[in-house]
Amino acid sequence: MTDDRKATLVHISGRVQGVSFRVWTRKQAQRLGLTGWVRNEDDGSVTALIAGPDGAVATMLKQFWDGPIGASVSRVDTEPAPAGELPSEFIIRH
């Protein structure tokens, strides 16, 4: 991964399951040219690993606060993620 790219692990809380949050995330990530994955968690939250150019990652982090219609996001927590073993596309994990 070059210096202008980064990987971020994101944990999104609120009403984020049952509103197509994962499908919406994949669509937004693909539009921004990001790679990574998104999955539902047992506690009702969603976790995503997003990787790509700094500007695209920053845009996606802002978009997480809106989410799809029907979502109500209460928290978006982030932490740097290692760049190793990233998917070559953006996938939904089950």
Active site residue 39: no
Active-site choice (5, 15, 39, 40): 40
Active site residue 31: no
Active-site choice (5, 15, 22, 39): 22
Dihedral class, residue 52 (left if φ above 0, else alpha if ψ from -120 to 50, else beta): left
Q: Are 60 and 6 contacting, i.e. CB atoms less than 8 angstroms apart?
A: no
Cβ contacts of residue 31 below 8 Å, gap of 6+?
Answer: none
Residues catalogued as catalytic = 22, 40
